[in-house]
Amino acid sequence: MNPRVAFRLARDWSQRDAADQWNQRWPDDPKTFKNFSYWEQWPAPTGYAPSLDVLARLAELYQCAVADLVVDLADHSHLDAARASSGNLNGLWLSRYSYFSDSRGEHLHGEHTVRLHHTGSRLRSTTDPGAGESRLALDLTVNGAIATGIWNERTDPTGYYRGAVYHGTIQLIISPHARAMNGRWLGFGKDFVVNSGDWHLEWIEA
């Protein structure tokens, strides 16, 4: 059965029961069991497409998300180049993070271009050859829209941190179109004080 039927039956309501519940909530916009029948038959030719307002009210009635009511419809997200079938997070990304340096007494940021490799639930990165002397590595596990794991950075041997290696944890939220990831990192600094800050990744190309 489609989700518009399933959510009604989960409450043990007939179409008439659902119409009664609707009319109690919105008496100025009365519906009958036939309305529910048409919405539930859609997208078959015998049904009528519910408007966005109707879907919003059905979601309120069934205590679910609007998207839950239309999960049976076509999904064309695979046509998006950023969500290629080979792995929707594969590609070249710009990584930016911010942190406060206790030793330098100022807010700083780091930036790298990384290549992400997405295999199953594993997401790993390599620093792009053109990214300079600092090297960043990410090793994450993807669970739905959340990526969680560890980061490791070998700093520029000629820079302020003189090739020191730092590492820590990171958690990111993946955008619906898989073109951005935003979250927070946790790790120790030069003086072995545990710090945290923002971390953002922006998709560049496949």
Strongest mean pLDDT among 14-28, 82-96, 175-189: 14-28
**CA distances to 74, 161, 174 from 154, in Å:** 45, 9, 25
pLDDT of amino acid 84: 43
CB 40 within 8 A of CB 4: yes
pLDDT of amino acid 133: 73
pLDDT tens digits, 120-159: 889 998 765 554 578 899 999 998 889 999 999 988 888 7
Query: Is the model's pLDDT at 80 over the cut of 80?
Result: no
Identify the band that residue 87 occupies on the pLDDT scale cut at 50, 70 and 90. Answer: very low
Nearest alpha carbon to residue 175 among 93, 54, 53: 93
Token representation of residue 78: 């695979």
Q: What is the chain's Cα-based Rg?
A: 25
pLDDT of amino acid 110: 83
Mean pLDDT of the chain: 87
Query: Is the model's pLDDT at 44 over the cut of 70?
Result: yes
CB 197 within 8 A of CB 185: yes
pLDDT of amino acid 86: 38
Query: Domain residue spans in the chain?
Result: 3-73, 81-205
**CA distances to 18, 57, 62 from 8, in Å:** 7, 13, 7
Residue that wins the pLDDT comparison between 91 and 206: 91
Alpha carbons 91 and 174: distance in angstroms, whole number: 14
CB 33 within 8 A of CB 15: yes
CB 203 within 8 A of CB 95: no
pLDDT tens digits, 165-195: 889 999 999 988 888 999 999 998 777 788 8
CB 189 within 8 A of CB 101: yes
Fold of 81-205: Porin (2.40.160)
